[in-house]
Chain A
Amino acid sequence: MASFALAISFGLPLAWAGTPTVEPETVPDVLIRQHGTRLPKVAPVEEDYARNCQGCHGHEGHSVTEVPRLQGRAGWFTHTREGRAYLVQVPNVQQAALSDERLATMLNWLLAQFSSEQLKPGFEPYSAAEVHALRAQPLESVIARRREVIDGLVRAGVIPDATALAFSLEPGRY
């Protein structure tokens, strides 16, 4: 077993060239070190999204069924006052380690990036002051509030039925 581990550490990676296994010299580090390769720079607003949201919501605003999809959906919430508030009050947004200003900028970027087609016509971007006021009113029950907000959007004719904004992509669930 020990010799096997030793072989993995020193010998095998070379023998495995061409397989998905990465040998130290093939990772981008060597490009940075020897050729000064630059990776695309992440803009500050994208960095805020990456650090605070991307891990679960995915870098394109969608990932697994357990995580609510942002892409092609989040914009619907901006059609009602309650929905607009909900996007800020949802716990991980409300508690995000970002200033009101950066959070407002990130939300506006996120909506434009992932869900511009669903935005309310003439959507007014979030301001730091609005985000500040909404963060001061955390939700008692996020599930109950989400249901109220989505029912409101259905009543207003924004979405045909509640499944359009189901929490999970599994049918019939909020």
Chain B
Amino acid sequence: MAKGLQFMDRFFERMSRRTAQQVSRRHFLSGLGAAMVGSTFLPVLPVSRKAQAADDPAAAWAKQVEAQTKDPRACNYWRYCSSDGYLCSCCGGGPATCPPGAVPSPTSWVGSCLNPDDGKMYLIAYRDCCGKDSCPKCNCLGTAGEKPAYIPQLNNDIIWCFGASSMIYHCSSAAIVGQI
């Protein structure tokens, strides 16, 4: 290991010394200038922006779990990056619909997830389905962008049945609000 590192060290030292000796400063500056001007045009090229969003917690989650868009009954379904609870999709509902007998809460918290198909970020409303005993299937925990419980409006540990006819939690749904 140490030997390998020493080799790398020597290799890069030699490289940079040689560059310093052989390449004129003006040549270096013109190259740097070209690189700087060139890089300002890079972001407008029609390339996937996934890499740019890599520091976003939602993007990090999508990468970590290999988010997919085909099976809303799996925890790595792309909209569940901030979902905490039982998936309505596994309880007779859909990713954005309540199972029969449960009612969608009129209040929710809004987060965002990365769609791996188009590499774009979408606002997602995490809306609990309420009024029916809890459905203990497909328990998933995503915490992208979630805030601690002392900022309850952006926390997913609490039950989001506020304002619904019943505070009994059944399952969690994730509806698309729009693209950002």
Contact = CB atoms under 8 A, between A and B. Distances in A.
A146 to B, nearest CB: 18
A172 interface: no
Nearest to A26: B94
B106 A36 contact: no
Contacts of A59: 177
B103 interface: no
B109 A55 contact: yes
B69 interface: yes
Interface size class of A (residues with CB under 8 A): 35 or more
Given A42-B123, A54-B110, A63-B106, A47 B73 contact: no
A64 B97 contact: no
B92 interface: yes
B96 A39 contact: no
Interface string A26-51: 01111011001011111000110011
A171 interface: no
A63 B127 CA distance: 14
B171 to A, nearest CB: 13
A9 B162 CA distance: 30
Nearest to A12: B92
A29 B70 contact: yes
Contacts of A38: 179
Given A51-B111, A64-B107, A33 B178 contact: no
B9 interface: no
Contacts of A41: 178-180
Interface of B: 69-73, 78, 89-90, 92-97, 106-112, 115, 117-118, 122-123, 125, 137, 147, 151, 153-154, 162-163, 176-180
Interface of A: 5, 8-9, 20-24, 27-30, 32-33, 36, 38-42, 46-47, 50-52, 54-56, 58-59, 63-67, 92, 95, 97
27 contacts: A5-B90, A8-B90, A8-B92, A9-B73, A9-B90, A22-B94, A22-B95, A24-B71, A24-B72, A29-B70, A33-B117, A38-B179, A39-B122, A42-B179, A47-B123, A50-B177, A51-B110, A55-B153, A58-B106, A59-B177, A64-B106, A64-B107, A64-B163, A66-B162, A67-B107, A97-B147, A97-B154
